[in-house]
Structure 1
């Protein structure tokens, strides 16, 4: 289940009762994998449920990054959080991204990377070499790689 794909569970404006109801639903559906994606990784630890422990086994905790600056800032924060699965959404990918920061202080790693270009009438192009480089890095780091789309520009042109 891609949870709140057009929202952010960890936004400060999310009602506390709504978030509590969401965590109750996640606990009640262990047969479903929940993909939770945020751009607000700094808020996550304070907003996880009290019984989170090492992470719910059915929650894939992910962050959205579009540039090297965001990757450098946010990947280490993700890797410090307890989670069954940690993933990146690199969409829209707006530049080359190195995953050198993709190992946490105790050997935590990323499990999955989703890469895609920007869509819409004013989409900025994504270069094919950025995608190929990320795929190679993911192979080296044993991170599952999923290419979603080129976006508004065909084949990175």
Structure 2
């Protein structure tokens, strides 16, 4: 939640940059957040930390993934869940998936979320196993 605090916490905690057990990540819900948080992840990368990831959940807008795929080892994406969940568009997930594939890094699609643009789904997906598409968890992108 506070990527700017990670380097200071590492200094006081004595965490070694070569530790395979440490993973650091940031949440990127939109492009503004991506632009604001990239310098903090870049700093960790410069310090030698390589187990870095991003969680694009909730995905609230498209993101330019090109600068991120040079820094992180994992992209996680998913829609917002719960009451009042905001719209999610499948193309946003596809963009993240395709960027990860091109960079040869793992991609995890967690969930559609509880609200998404039903018009963007095929009838087959909308009627998958009789489920309400607003409640569909996971699935093919």
Per the shorter chain, which TM-score range? Answer: 0.7 to 0.9
- Equivalences, count: 114
1:118 correspondence with 2:80: yes
Q: What is the DSSP-based 3-state SS (H/G/I as helix, E as strand, rest coil) of the residue aligned with 2:24? A: strand
Relative to the length of structure 1, the TM-score reads 0.66
Q: Compute the RMSD of aligned alpha carbons.
A: 1.8
Matched residue, 1:93: 59
In 2, Cα distance between the equivalents of 1:59 and 1:139? 23
Matched residue, 2:35: 72
What is the 5 A alignment of 1:19-58?
39-48=1-10, 49-58=12-21
Larger radius of gyration: 2
1:145 correspondence with 2:111: no
In 1, Cα distance between the equivalents of 2:100 and 2:93? 11
1:129 correspondence with 2:129: no
Q: Which has the higher helix share?
A: 2
Q: What is the DSSP-based 3-state SS (H/G/I as helix, E as strand, rest coil) of the residue aligned with 1:114? A: strand
Q: Which runs of 4+ in 1 moved over 2 A?
A: none
Q: Which has the higher strand share?
A: 1
CA displacement 1:88-145 (0-9 Å, x = unmatched): 1110000001112226xxxx62100110000011000110011111111111122210
Mark the runs of 5 or more structure 2 residues left unpaired by the alignment. 119-141
Mark the runs of 5 or more structure 1 residues left unpaired by the alignment. 1-38
Matched residue, 1:83: 49
Cα pair distance change 1:153/1:93, threshold 3 Å? same
In 2, Cα distance between the equivalents of 1:142 and 1:50? 32
Relative to the length of structure 2, the TM-score reads 0.73
In the alignment, is the contact (CA less than 8 A) between 1:94 and 1:125 conserved in 2?
yes
Q: What is the DSSP-based 3-state SS (H/G/I as helix, E as strand, rest coil) of the residue aligned with 1:80? A: helix
Name which of structure 1's ranges 119-128 and 51-60 shifts more when overlaid on structure 2: 51-60
